[in-house]
Structure 1
Amino acid sequence: MLLLLVRDNLGIGGVAREVDLYQYWYGKFAEGTFPPGDVTWQYPPGAGLVIMSPGVLPWLTYFQAFVALTVLADAVVTLALAHADSARLTHGALIWVLGLPLLLHLPFARYDVQTTALAVLALLALGTRATATRRLGGALAGIGAMVKVWPALALIGTPRGRTTREAWTAAAVTALALLATLALFFSDALGFLRQQGSRGIQIESLWGTALAAARASGIWPGRIEFRYGAYEYVGPYVSSLGHLALLLTVIAFGWLLLWRLQARRWTDATPFDAALAAVLLFTVTSRVISPQYMIWLLGLAAVCMTSRATVMRPVALLLLPAAALSSLAYPVLYDDVVTGTTTGLAVMVLRNALLLAAALLAARRLWTSTTGGPPDA
């Protein structure tokens, strides 16, 4: 993975250019502000901490320091999963160690490994019996939510009662404290909300694949434009599809709340399984599916596999070929994806079909494994 990153000439190349953007933002943070008016800045304020973190290694270039810290985060995830596996003869670390390289060198040129590390550590901490450790898990999820929002979903499956109160309270307090601190020291901390609200249908999303198929069939006359740091579809019905995507995301959230109300049985794996199901549902209904989203899903699948009680084994297995296809889509065949060739469309249809199947299967298995039978004492 590191060798591919150094060469960075596979497919369209330029995977490491994202780190150059991080370095530009780093300069803005040094001036005491979040990137003002930058349409590519679409992240919660906690992401600034990760972008600034290479500054702790001043003897390296920004690129070298960022990659070194990402590899360190990868090692932390691997060791945490291996420790969770050690007493149970499970395969969480194996899913991570074998799954991440399927994404080639992209994980080391994005800050999603660090974000996934927060979610993985949060979930593993929530699975312990110690009150202080559960609160730490909630705090890590709160920090993760301030870095990239989705780690908040790590708390969706905490058992009702004391565990939920401890974890959710710790998450809320930590997130608010971090937000207040960053707002105190940096201006425009909430500027990312303006950019997020303007996003359209990205070409790699399920909605984008539907539009690509319609365009290839000649029944939709839209086009592709580079906007907000990604290729998006522009044309008739795009706005309506965007609203439909948001509606389905709201429905997915409502389904998760209904599941919490209806769930009667909790196992040690239920918080892990619920987190994976939730992130999958939010991924497939989103207007945007960037290739680095697969890092999140592989990390959560790996956590599920640390428990023998998990019901997500077939879901985890579906995510492995989905990750490999994601690498074909970007960077290997990205020109084909953008231009909408038969090859590019086929890769996206297969990848997104796997993600949709994984999401539906995860939701079904979560529901059936927890809503039947007598309630836990």
Structure 2
Amino acid sequence: MDGTGRRWSLGPAALFAAWGASRLVLLLFVLGVLVFPGPDVTTDVSVIYRGWFEVLRHGSFPLDDVSWQYPPAAALAILAPAALPFLGYATAFAALALLADLAVLCLLLYGGRGPGRPLRGAWFWTVGAALLGPTLYARYDVMVTAVAVAALLTGPRRPRLLGTLAGFGAMLKVWPLLLLAGALGRAGRRAWAAAVATVAAAASAFALAMPGALSFLTAQRDRGTEVESLGALVIHVARHFGWSGQVLLNYGSVEFVGPYAGVLSDASLALTGVASGWLVLWWLRARRSSPGAATLADAALTAVLLFTTTSRVISPQYLVWLVGLGAVCLCFPGSRMRLPAWLVAAASLVTVLEFPVYFVDVVMSDRLGIALLVLRNGLLLAACVTAAHGLWRAAVPRPAAPTPAPRSAPDGLSPAVRADTRATGR
């Protein structure tokens, strides 16, 4: 086997060894064999998810629980541990999350590979997702991310499959619909049609089968300003100058409730509207150009970055989505998302520090907590700006400068003709 073949054989071996070692450590934390610093992140699975499981398996959505704010297909993720009845609910959920994590790795490594595509996307997922700590296996977001990665890697060749997977992902957790932000031209129309059909079919099926399937459409209407969000930084600082509000567990997350919290929530929604307007403007310009093969993945990462960073809520598990999308972008040699992806990786490292390690400092608005939030949200903002700039430059190139006309020689002959004349002595 030649040198290239040997490198290829060693590459996946080292990759799977690193993935296996890092995931073993994560499992030990999730299963309680090792203790991760800070609050226990697994209670969402063992308490909240398990409670929803008991309600869902009797044929209804948890209508009396304000923390249920998910599209109807999320029930599939919550009910999935029933497929492993020989394990306890929390252990079965961790096992399924591990399988979803492995699916992402295999998709990045084999699902979209082509000539010249590097391994860096798979390595980015292996390292970047591990930086989030046990949160990776304590939420169902890694399962949604697996669907999104499959959609983006198959999308350039099979737009209808892209649309179907994006639509199904939207029925799991809404945000995968943003995968279609870069779907352009005839193929884009096929992808959007498939997505709409999938969403309509899934929503109708769940609505007919289980009451409360569409309650998620209004479930987040009264959400406030979550303590880890961009807007929350204003209140964190204001608390040191006598802000009189409270920190409460509200709608399933820790939020600020009190003076100006509503104003900040409205400001976040306005920023999301501005981000939407920019994406529409980019789409209108890009559809008249010829974007590269990486545009679909680049646009997806940019769109999710913009909506995540401007949201009223930035939960730690949102970084799982961004790491997965960044890994897909790095699989394409022509991607403009290298810097944004690495900024996301840096934000993931800071995220595990602000939650769960120093989450008490964040809730108390201590200087350390504020510093971590400024750094993490600053990295996300930088990722937004660089991603938007790169996407715009890639899909809306600047017009080429005109080529200057050749200068004429004093006697009216071109320089080439004069040189030829001198050489022949004529």
Q: TM-score range by the shorter chain?
A: over 0.9
CA distance in 2, matches of 1:181, 1:315: 38
- Choose 4-13 or 107-116, whichever is displaced more: 4-13
| Residue 97 of structure 1: how far off its partner (Å) | 0.5
* Mapped pair 1:227 → 2:250: yes
Q: TM-score, normalised by structure 2?
A: 0.84
Paired residue type of 1:184: L
* Mapped pair 1:124 → 2:148: no
SS across alignment from 2:256: strand
Give the corresponding residue for 1:168.
192
Q: Per-residue displacement from partner, 1:335-355 (whole Å, max 9, x unpaired)?
A: 111111111111111000000
Give the corresponding residue for 1:111.
140
* Mapped pair 1:183 → 2:207: yes
Which of 74, 83, 87 is the aligned partner of 1:56?
Answer: 83
| Residue 374 of structure 1: how far off its partner (Å) | 6.8
Contact (CA 8 Å) 1:265, 1:373: kept in 2 or not? no
Give the corresponding residue for 1:2.
27
Identity %: 45
Query: Which 5+ residue runs of structure 2 have no aligned equivalent?
Result: 1-25, 401-426
CA distance in 2, matches of 1:348, 1:295: 18
Contact (CA 8 Å) 2:142, 2:320: kept in 1 or not? yes
Give the corresponding residue for 1:249.
272
CA distance in 2, matches of 1:86, 1:261: 30
Contact (CA 8 Å) 2:170, 2:199: kept in 1 or not? yes
Contact (CA 8 Å) 2:227, 2:363: kept in 1 or not? yes
Give the corresponding residue for 1:14.
40
Paired residue type of 2:387: A
Contact (CA 8 Å) 2:227, 2:256: kept in 1 or not? yes
Contact (CA 8 Å) 1:85, 1:93: kept in 2 or not? no
Which of 115, 120, 130 is the aligned partner of 1:87?
Answer: 115
CA distance in 2, matches of 1:219, 1:163: 55
Count of residue pairs brought into register by the alignment:
369
Give the corresponding residue for 1:326.
351
Which of 174, 190, 193 is the aligned partner of 1:149?
Answer: 174
Paired residue type of 1:333: Y
Q: TM-score, normalised by structure 1?
A: 0.95
**Aligned 1:17-96 pairs, distance under 5 A:** 17-20=43-46, 21-83=48-110, 84-85=112-113, 87-90=115-118, 91-96=120-125
Contact (CA 8 Å) 1:88, 1:306: kept in 2 or not? no
Give the corresponding residue for 2:15.
none
CA distance in 2, matches of 1:188, 1:23: 19
SS across alignment from 2:255: strand
Paired residue type of 1:257: V
Paired residue type of 1:92: G
Query: Which 5+ residue runs of structure 1 have no aligned equivalent?
Result: none
Q: CA RMSD in A?
A: 1.5
Flag the 1:338–1:135 CA change in 2: closer, same or farther, 3 A: same
Give the corresponding residue for 2:5.
none
**Larger Cα-atom Rg:** 2
CA distance in 1, matches of 2:312, 2:216: 17
Give the corresponding residue for 1:284.
309
Which of 353, 378, 383 is the aligned partner of 1:358?
Answer: 383
| Residue 152 of structure 1: how far off its partner (Å) | 0.4
| Residue 85 of structure 1: how far off its partner (Å) | 4.4
| Residue 56 of structure 1: how far off its partner (Å) | 1.6
